[in-house]
Amino acid sequence: MRKAAATLIFLGMLFSALGAYSPVDGFEPRANPQPSPEGIKVILYARGEGNNLDPREPYFSAVVKECEDLLRTADSTYKLIPTEVLIRKVKQEGALEVIYPAVQQAVIPFNQQRLYFTRLIIPLNGRFAPGTLFFRGEYAYTLGAAKPEYSLISTRLGAVINSRGVDSLKKLLGQVNKN
């Protein structure tokens, strides 16, 4: 009996490390847990005007990784319902948007909930700049048994906060202006 329990614990750790098992969801297929920069679009907004970052530039992957790290280490949320009007205002003030070609997912640490998302919108200036991340997505528990379809997920808006802030992201974006 002990050997069987030890084997199950070992297999759970192995599958978890390989991304095939999660203590939150069990054996659930993962939607691109570690996306490659291929197909990812990053848009830098200033005064509402968007400029695409070149995925061939050396800073591109680092910018995407930092955005994902901000989401994956979020430590709070708002009692706020983001709207399209708010997102337009955030982009007007200055923001970075990461657009994924397929549904992504992350377990948000402060609430231990699985989040499916297609976009991240990170304010760089204005009221929400000190660490707010807006996302187009949905938590797994609100989907129930529904498959996280890209078209459905992309219509939903939410927000989390990372108290670390966006200073390291701004530092990386400083390289954009140097190239």
The per-residue pLDDT for range 72-125, each reduced to its tens digit, is: 999 998 888 899 999 999 999 999 999 999 999 999 988 888 999 999 999 999
Average the pLDDT over 8-34 and give the result: 37
Ordered by start, the domain boundaries in the chain are 1-30, 32-178
Say what the pLDDT of residue 28 is. Answer: 39
d(CA 167, CA 173) in angstroms, rounded, equals 10
**Beta-carbon count within 10 A of 158 CB:** 20
CA 108 from chain centre, in angstroms, equals 9
pLDDT digits (tens, 9 = 90+) for 98-111: 999 999 999 998 88
Question: What is the reported pTM?
Answer: 0.76
DSSP 82-105: --HHHHHHHHHH-EEEEEEEEEEE
- For the cut 90, the answer to whether the pLDDT of residue 33 exceeds it is no
Say what the alpha-carbon torsion angle 54, 117, 35, 63 is, to the nearest 10 degrees.
40
* Number of residues written out for the chain: 179
- For the cut 50, the answer to whether the pLDDT of residue 18 exceeds it is no
What is the bridge-based pairing of β-strands 49-52 and 41-46?
A: antiparallel
Say what the pLDDT of residue 146 is. Answer: 76
d(CA 75, CA 53) in angstroms, rounded, equals 28
